[in-house]
Amino acid sequence: DTPSQTRDTTGMDFYDIKNHWGGVSCAAKALGKGRQSVYRWKETGVPLGEQYRIQVLTEGKLKAAPEQKRLAA
């Protein structure tokens, strides 16, 4: 896995979450979500509220989108 700091990103994505937990099923279980909900993020992106929640759950290993990048969109 490539560390998030070396990629141009606007926050965590589906693959970051999948890789962190070792698969979609494990990620869904850890987040209290259905697998389809997590898979949907592959197409729609991870909702900002979920990004913040995941940032807390991962103790900062996965980071939510920075404020300035979200406002620029």
For residue range 12-38, list pLDDT tens digits in order.
Answer: 999 999 999 999 999 999 999 999 999
Phi, psi values for residue 24, rounded to 5°: -70, -40
For residue 64, pLDDT beyond 50: yes
pLDDT band at 66 (very low <50, low <70, confident <90, very high): confident
- 9-41 exposure pattern, b = at least 16 Cβ within 10 A, e = fewer: eebbbbebbbebbeebeebbebbebeeeebeeb
What does DSSP assign to residue 4? G
Q: Quick one: pLDDT at residue 20? A: 97
pLDDT one-digit tens code per residue, 35-53: 999 999 999 999 999 999 9
Banded pLDDT at 8 (limits 50, 70, 90): very low
